[in-house]
Structure 1
Amino acid sequence: MMDVALAEVDGVGIDLGNQDGTMVAAGGADKSLHILHLPTGQQVTRNSHEKPIRAVRFVEVPNSNTHIVASGSWDKTVKLWDFRQQGPVASLTCDERVYSMDSKSLLLVIATAERRIHLVDLRNPTVFSQSLESPIKYQIKVVTAFPDGTGWATGSIEGRCGMNTVEKLGNNNTDFSFRCHRAPQDPKTRITQVYSINDIQFHPVQHGVFTTAGSDGAIYFWDRPSHSRLQTYPSIGNSVTTTRFNHDGTLFAYALGYDWSKGCAANKQEIETKLKLHRVTKKESTPKEI
């Protein structure tokens, strides 16, 4: 793994590119959604929410001839935007504040406070197709849609990751949860230190392979069909706050910094914010035979 550059994003939510890679969407504590068109440098802003924006995603709405951006906010709403008009094309009211959001194929998955999850079928983006309680018992930190849109992954503050499909297939092997990002139990105190899962990402080519990254600074590569670990990278110091694969899964980018998992008192000046790149190996990206 090699150090590339320092990086710090002021916005609460950011999506680095639409399908053709020409646009960047960002939102933050200013309650506004910002779009940057990279080829021209043109910027567009919408005063979109009453409270800070937590997540933004480009979404694929069928029969739409333009780029649609979804923004999720602490005002308990998710709005879909066509930047050729002033107002949103759709507005959805969630049960609680939006904590995380992701979209792949025809699925938009939204995680809120109080462990609530909302699913949107983008063929009908004006209503929730399902609203349910998270299968994970503790606060949701991140949700990530499967690459084919058939399900989603959930990560919690308690170091537990869950996999769930939109349509139950009658196979107990498709929906499951497991523990990770935990230190070995202290034999004297019998206390096990658990860490928040800050991000989950699926390999863009090998869809059964995914990664988890946590506040312990560790990164794991997993094989979803066989429920097994492919590779472990132990703590590299600071918390891993966010991660991404490149388009073909040959590179894995991850950010180091402070994730506020221990409150404001633990945020110290010596904690560096860094962006690093890792070249993905065959071992990490090859699913095991079942």
Structure 2
Amino acid sequence: MAASAAYLGELVEAPPADGISRVIFSQTSDLLLASSWDKSLHLYDAVTRLPRASYPHQAPVLDCCFENDNTVYAAGLDGQVKRFDVQTTRGAVLGTHGKGVQSIIFLPAQGVLLSGSWDQGLRMWDPRMAPGQNCVSSVPVPGKVYAASAGKERLVVATSGRHVLIYDIRRLAGGHSPEALEQHRESSLKFQTRSLSVYTDGRGYALGSVEGRVAMEFFDAADAQANKYAFKCHRRNEGGKDTVYPVHSITFHSGYGTFATGGGDGVICIWDGENKKRLFQTARYPTSVASMSFSRTGEMLAVASSYAYEQGERDHPPDAIYIRAVQDVEVRPKARKPAAA
């Protein structure tokens, strides 16, 4: 177990040259996207760990996603949402926001791209329609969008002011914006939302904050009251003081429904949310774990080791992407012990 705990993964060649904002796997192959403050979107083959292509943007890139292995998207600090052809590397502006775009998600069932911005707005873009006519939904939200995640039926958006908004995706994509908002909640965590991910089974979502906490929430009102809980993580005793780090990334394992959290302490923890247990913890990465993504089979975990300026301007290790082979014992839930008679 000790040897496994020390294993961080294999380094990707030619990583982004500045802060890495997102790593995300394709759901149909072992291709990996990485967005960066170096004003580029990067595509890698996760098996060979070699770069496949780079796509230029006009400003730092804050998020990225796949439509499929031939088409990818990026959005950045300049408010532009761009669509790129993987083979030709040609890009086109799909649409724009008034301020930086923090989150983009491609919704395959609807064939549309969702973007959430610091301009306090959500928009849905249909890439099959002509530019200027392709915004099929535009929804104001009560604050800057900090994080977003989607399941098959619901979209969850976290904004400044600790707002959490839950939408019916079908109504939102169909242009029925007022009816699409199912719930408007206040985060159960006291401080700013940093990360968000919908459960694999679609029953709820995990919310991470800057104060090293994760809240496990449920969509159904009865479940929400009976089963929700929160826990502390990504904290370390330094010089006799408890230092708290942000939870930068939450990603679920598609096979088991367990999940990983990555923090500013450079550590990844894997959790069994159903049984409220920590299954595994890695050794420390060189710097902050800024983003993570499980591959479609759950056999690989992409890790962006990239300083996230939790402690302001300072010297820090270079940005890097690791591909970590996931061992089954690290992510498989442990059988719950029967209650004593």
Q: TM-score, normalised by structure 2?
A: 0.77
Structure 1 residues 124, 60: CA separation in 2 closer, same or farther (over 3 Å shift)?
farther
2:217 corresponds to 1:164: yes
8 A Cα contact 2:148 2:158, kept in partner: yes
Q: In the alignment, which residue of structure 1 is the partner of 2:268? A: 219
Supply the AA of the counterpart residue of 2:126.
D
8 A Cα contact 2:293 2:302, kept in partner: yes
Shift of 1:44: 2.2
Q: In the alignment, which residue of structure 1 is the partner of 2:290? A: 241
Deviations 1:94-148 (A, max 9, x none): 1000111111211111111111111111121123221111011111001111123
Structure 1 residues 211, 21: CA separation in 2 closer, same or farther (over 3 Å shift)?
same
Structure 1 residues 155, 170: CA separation in 2 closer, same or farther (over 3 Å shift)?
closer
Counterpart-to-counterpart distance in 2, 1:178 and 1:241: 20
8 A Cα contact 1:218 1:233, kept in partner: yes
Residue 282 of structure 1, aligned match among 311, 319, 328: 328
Count how many residue pairs are aligned between Structure 1 and Structure 2. Answer: 278
Residue 134 of structure 1, aligned match among 181, 184, 187: 187
SS in 2 for 1:284: helix
Q: In the alignment, which residue of structure 1 is the partner of 2:308? A: 259
Shift of 1:53: 0.7
Supply the AA of the counterpart residue of 2:15.
A
Aligned ranges for residues 89-108 of structure 1 at < 5 Å?
Answer: 89-108=136-155
Residue 248 of structure 2, aligned match among 198, 201, 206: 198
Gaps (5+ residues) in structure 2?
1-8, 17-35, 38-59, 337-341
Counterpart-to-counterpart distance in 2, 1:144 and 1:192: 27
Q: In the alignment, which residue of structure 1 is the partner of 2:228? A: 175
Supply the AA of the counterpart residue of 2:245.
Y
Supply the AA of the counterpart residue of 2:122.
V
Shift of 1:41: 4.0
SS in 1 for 2:119: coil
> With CA pairs under 8 Å and 6+ residues apart, which has the higher RCO, 1 or 2?
2
Counterpart-to-counterpart distance in 1, 2:140 and 2:119: 9
SS in 2 for 1:110: strand
SS in 1 for 2:242: coil
8 A Cα contact 1:217 1:238, kept in partner: yes
Shift of 1:39: 4.5
Q: In the alignment, which residue of structure 2 is the partner of 1:123? A: 170
Q: In the alignment, which residue of structure 1 is the partner of 2:10? A: 2
Shift of 1:174: 3.2
Supply the AA of the counterpart residue of 2:293.
R
Deviations 1:58-96 (A, max 9, x none): 1245xx4xx210111100001000022324100111100
Q: In the alignment, which residue of structure 2 is the partner of 1:78? A: 122
8 A Cα contact 1:214 1:240, kept in partner: yes
Identity %: 27
Residue 210 of structure 1, aligned match among 241, 259, 263: 259
Aligned alpha-carbon RMSD (Å): 1.8
Aligned ranges for residues 58-69 of structure 1 at < 5 Å?
Answer: 58-61=106-109, 64=110, 67-69=111-113
8 A Cα contact 2:77 2:101, kept in partner: yes
Gaps (5+ residues) in structure 1?
none
Counterpart-to-counterpart distance in 2, 1:285 and 1:272: 29
Shift of 1:172: 6.0
Residue 69 of structure 2, aligned match among 10, 14, 21: 21
Residue 277 of structure 2, aligned match among 228, 241, 250: 228
Counterpart-to-counterpart distance in 1, 2:142 and 2:92: 29
Counterpart-to-counterpart distance in 2, 1:183 and 1:173: 31
Shift of 1:30: 1.6
8 A Cα contact 1:197 1:213, kept in partner: yes
Higher helix content, 1 or 2: 2
Q: TM-score, normalised by structure 1?
A: 0.90
Counterpart-to-counterpart distance in 1, 2:71 and 2:201: 22
